Amino acid sequence: MSAPRPYDVVVFGATGYTGGLTAEYLARQAPAGTRWALAGRNRGKLEAVRARLAAINPACAQLALLAADAADAASLKAVAESARVIITTVGPYILHGEPLVAACAAAGTDYVDLTGEPEFVDLMWLRYHEQAQQSGARLVHSCGFDSIPHDLGAWFTVQQLPSGVPLTLEGFVRAGGTFSAGTYHSAIYAFGRARLYMKTRKERQAREPRPAGRKIGSVKSGVRYEKELGGWVVPFPTIDPQVVRRSAAALDRYGPDFRYGHYVQLKKLATVAGLIGGTGALFALAQFKPTRNWLLSRKSSGEGPTPEQRAKAWFKVRFRGEGGGQRVSTEVSGGDPGYGETSKMLAESALCLAFDDVPKRGGQLTPAAAMGNALIERLKKNGIKFAVL
């Protein structure tokens, strides 16, 4: 990326609900002089978004509008070559995401998304990691609630413990609020593609190098009551623990033997039973096209909660770590996880890659490996708390 490019940041998907919130955040928070633009396939909708942003920040009336369509590789190539960093909220990523990843890997353009889809992330590693290493593109997936609080929270906690010793961490997630239609659709597609995902996962495991002389693994634990937390904890097999372990594999600071366990925290045993039963039912229904389509129709993309509903939403992720004879408890907390804080995390990730002194290595990277403490500091300045308890 040695040749000057006209835009520091481009937002692809700003006409959607979460993409619109991300653009609004940039309108309020992007440093003066940031050269940014909106990209999408419908110019009329982009113009409406630009007008809304101009009411927040009059300078946004001059934002460039770029033609880009996930089904048009040439348009994505042109956008990728014009930008230093691209934000995309266009999902489900397994259906719509690959062409933009390909364009960024080829152009040496940094890329951030908010996917929580393990199959998509693994496929993109298999197909574009090596090319991105060569071009210098940093492909950073999962820069929303999946998986910033968990990945950076684990990194923050590790730094409170001794170095050079085996470390064990557990993360416990609590949240109140509504998750996006995109998250819901991604989960349904992931359930329906479970067999395909296992094949992709095995291929990545076979090809991906392991850290020399270091071990990375999981904490083995089932459902249990945690007196210290005052609730039940259930293993939470989202993309988040995968991201944490990949950060541990990439960064020596996690020690010679790192173990991580990831859980959702619930107050009542009946809620635990409902969660397990409900998830099992969704998984079963997602295996068949008619019932999968019915599930997808229950929530429409582009819809989201009111500002009043978002204002009441919250999240807290508690971490417990131990190693070298020491124990530490930390917490990452913030507001609305599915929308407000996700758009903040995504926008700040892009600004971090564009402007901060962070590693220049290319390839598919986790948020902790790509941005680490620089992104933590950005998020702390903008209302997301990282605390030692």
Whether the per-residue pLDDT at 1 is higher than 50: the answer is: no
182 confidence band (pLDDT: 50, 70, 90): low
DSSP string, 274-339: HHHHHHHHHHHHTTSHHHHHHHHHTS-TT----HHHHHH-EEEEEEEEEETTEEEEEEEEES-TTT
The interaxial angle of helices 17-29 and 43-56, nearest 10 deg, is 40
Burial class (CB in 10 A: 0-12, 13-18, 19+), 201: middle
Q: How far apart are CA 127 and CA 132, in angstroms?
A: 10
Whether the per-residue pLDDT at 2 is higher than 70: the answer is: no
For the chain, the C-alpha Rg in angstroms (whole number) is 20
Which of 99-113, 214-228, 272-286, 357-371 shows the lowest per-residue confidence on average (mean pLDDT)? 272-286
Q: What are the tens digits of pLDDT across the range 315-356?
A: 999 999 999 999 999 999 999 998 899 999 999 999 999 999
Q: How far apart are CA 224 and CA 177, in angstroms?
A: 24
Q: What are the tens digits of pLDDT across the range 235-269?
A: 988 899 999 999 999 999 999 999 999 999 998 87
Per-chain mean pLDDT for the chain:
92
Scanning the structure block, which residue is given the tokens 């940093």?
Answer: 138
Q: 36 phi and psi, to 5 degrees?
A: -135, 165
Is residue 229 classed as helix, strand or coil in its secondary structure?
coil
98 confidence band (pLDDT: 50, 70, 90): very high
Model-wide pTM > 0.85: yes
Mean pLDDT in residue range 123-132: 98
Q: How far apart are CA 63 and CA 313, in angstroms?
A: 31
Q: How far apart are CA 45 and CA 63, in angstroms?
A: 14
Nearest to 76 by CA among 54, 55, 47, 107: 107
Tell me the percentage of the chain whose pLDDT exceeds 70: 97
Q: Are 189 and 94 in contact (CB under 8 A)?
A: yes
CA 350-351-352 angle, to 5 degrees, is 90
Mean pLDDT in residue range 191-213: 90
Q: How far apart are CA 108 and CA 124, in angstroms?
A: 15
Whether the per-residue pLDDT at 89 is higher than 50: the answer is: yes
Which of 70-74, 91-95, 183-187 shows the lowest per-residue confidence on average (mean pLDDT)? 183-187
The per-residue pLDDT for 287 is: 87
Q: What are the tens digits of pLDDT across the range 40-84?
A: 999 999 999 999 999 999 999 999 999 999 999 999 999 999 999
Q: Are 128 and 341 in contact (CB under 8 A)?
A: no
Q: Which residue has the higher pLDDT, 236 or 132?
A: 132
Structure tokens at 319: 């971490």
Mean pLDDT in residue range 365-374: 98
Q: How far apart are CA 68 and CA 53, in angstroms?
A: 20
Scanning the structure block, which residue is given the tokens 């107050």?
Answer: 267
The letter for the amino acid at 245 is: R
197 confidence band (pLDDT: 50, 70, 90): confident
Q: Which helix (H) or strand (E) holds 85?
A: strand 83-88
Mean pLDDT in residue range 82-108: 95
Q: Are 106 and 89 in contact (CB under 8 A)?
A: no
